Structure 1
Amino acid sequence: MANSGRQRVFTISALIIIALVAIGAAFPGQFGNIANSALGVIGRYFGWFYLFSVFGFVLFLFALAFSKYGKIRLGPQDSTPTYSFFSWVSMLLAAGFGVGLVFYGMAEPMTHYLHPPYDDVAPETAASARYAIQYSFFNWGIHQWAAFSIVGLIIAYFQFRKGQAGLVSSVLSSVTAKRPKARKLAPALDIFAVVATVMGVATSIGLAVLQINGGLSAVFGVEESALWKFIIMGAMFVCYMISTWSGLDKGIKRLSNLNLTLCFILMFYVLFTGPTLAILETITLGIGDYLQNFVVMSLRTTPFSGETWANEWTIFYWAWVIAWSPFVGTFVARVSRGRTIKEYVFGVLIVPPLLACLWIGIFGGAAINLEMSGDVGLAAATDENITVALFQMFELMPFTEVLSIVALLLIFIFLVTSADSATYIVAQMTDGGSINPPLYKRVAWGVLIAAICLTLIIAGGLKGLQSAAVLSALPFTFIIYGMIFVLIKELRADRRAMLTALYRRHGETPVGADAFEAELIAEEDRYRRAPDVVNRRINPRGNR
Structure 2
Amino acid sequence: MAISGLTSEGGPSKAQQLADSLRHRPGAVFYISIGLILAFVAWAGLSPETLGGAMTSAMNWASETVGWAYLLVGFGCIVLLIYLAASRFGRIRLGSDDDRPEHSTWAWIAMIVSAVMGIGLISYGVAEPITHFFAPPHGLAEPGTVEAAVRAMQFSYFDWGPHAWAIFGVFGLAIAYSTHRKGNTGLISPMLRPVLGKLVDGWVGKFIDVFAIIATLFGTTTSLGLGAAQISEGLNRIMGIPTDLFVQIVIIAVITVLFTLSALSGVNRGIKYISQFTMLLSIGIGIYVFFTGPSNFITNLFVRSIGQYSSDFLQVSLITPLTDEGSQWMQWWTYFMMAWWLSWGAFVGVFLAKISRGRTIREFVLGVMVVPSIVFFLWFTIFGGTAIRLDMAGVSNIGAAAANDINSAFFEMLAQLPLVEITSVIAVILVVLFFVSGADANTFVLGMLSTRGTLNPTRTVLSIWGVLTGVCAALLLVVGGLAALQQAAMLSALPFTVIVALLGYSLIKQLREDPHFDHTKGVHREDLATAALRVPSRALRP
Alpha-carbon distance in 2 for matches of 1:219, 1:443: 32
Partner of 1:387: 407
Residue identity matched to 2:312: N
Matched, 1:290 2:309: yes
Counterparts of 1:257-406 in structure 2 under 5 Å?
A: 257-303=276-322, 307-308=326-327, 309-406=329-426
Question: Cα 1:499–1:536, aligned 2, differ >3 Å: closer, same or farther?
Answer: closer
| Among candidates 435, 448, 452, match of residue 455 of structure 2 | 435
SS at match of 1:147: helix
Matched, 1:198 2:217: yes
SS at match of 2:138: coil
Alpha-carbon distance in 2 for matches of 1:189, 1:493: 24
Residue identity matched to 2:282: C
Counterparts of 1:506-521 in structure 2 under 5 Å?
A: none
Residue identity matched to 2:425: I
Alpha-carbon distance in 1 for matches of 2:308, 2:84: 26
CA deviations on 1:105-163 (whole Å, 9 max, x unpaired) are: 11111000111102232211122112111111111111122211111111110111110
SS at match of 1:239: helix
Question: Cα 1:538–1:243, aligned 2, differ >3 Å: closer, same or farther?
Answer: farther
Partner of 1:45: 65
How many angstroms does 1:366 deviate by?
0.9
How many angstroms does 1:342 deviate by?
1.0
Structure 2 alignment gaps of length 5 or more: 1-17, 529-533
CA deviations on 1:454-497 (whole Å, 9 max, x unpaired) are: 34445656643541331233322212222222211111111565
Matched, 1:114 2:134: yes
Partner of 1:76: 96
Question: Cα 1:81–1:440, aligned 2, differ >3 Å: closer, same or farther?
Answer: farther
Question: Cα 1:372–1:460, aligned 2, differ >3 Å: closer, same or farther?
Answer: closer
Matched, 1:250 2:269: yes
Partner of 1:101: 121
How many angstroms does 1:200 deviate by?
2.2
CA-based RMSD of the aligned residues comes to 2.9
Alpha-carbon distance in 2 for matches of 1:123, 1:429: 46
Question: Cα 1:305–1:462, aligned 2, differ >3 Å: closer, same or farther?
Answer: closer
Alpha-carbon distance in 1 for matches of 2:98, 2:523: 21
2:73/2:500 contact within 8 Å kept: no
2:477/2:484 contact within 8 Å kept: no
Question: Cα 1:233–1:300, aligned 2, differ >3 Å: closer, same or farther?
Answer: closer
Question: Cα 1:461–1:131, aligned 2, differ >3 Å: closer, same or farther?
Answer: closer
Question: Cα 1:277–1:247, aligned 2, differ >3 Å: closer, same or farther?
Answer: same
Residue identity matched to 1:344: F
Alpha-carbon distance in 2 for matches of 1:438, 1:277: 53
Matched, 1:221 2:240: yes
Question: Cα 1:52–1:203, aligned 2, differ >3 Å: closer, same or farther?
Answer: closer
2:175/2:350 contact within 8 Å kept: yes
How many angstroms does 1:249 deviate by?
3.2
How many residue pairs were aligned?
512
CA deviations on 1:313-339 (whole Å, 9 max, x unpaired) are: 222322332233233323322332222
Matched, 1:474 2:513: no
Alpha-carbon distance in 2 for matches of 1:370, 1:476: 40
TM-score normalised to structure 1 length: 0.86
Structure 1 alignment gaps of length 5 or more: 509-533
Deviates more, 1:336-345 or 1:226-235: 226-235
TM-score normalised to structure 2 length: 0.87
1:12/1:191 contact within 8 Å kept: yes
Alpha-carbon distance in 1 for matches of 2:56, 2:323: 24
Question: Cα 1:373–1:403, aligned 2, differ >3 Å: closer, same or farther?
Answer: same
Counterparts of 1:225-240 in structure 2 under 5 Å?
A: 225=244, 227-240=246-259
Residue identity matched to 2:255: M
Residue identity matched to 2:236: S
SS at match of 1:123: coil
Question: Cα 1:462–1:402, aligned 2, differ >3 Å: closer, same or farther?
Answer: closer
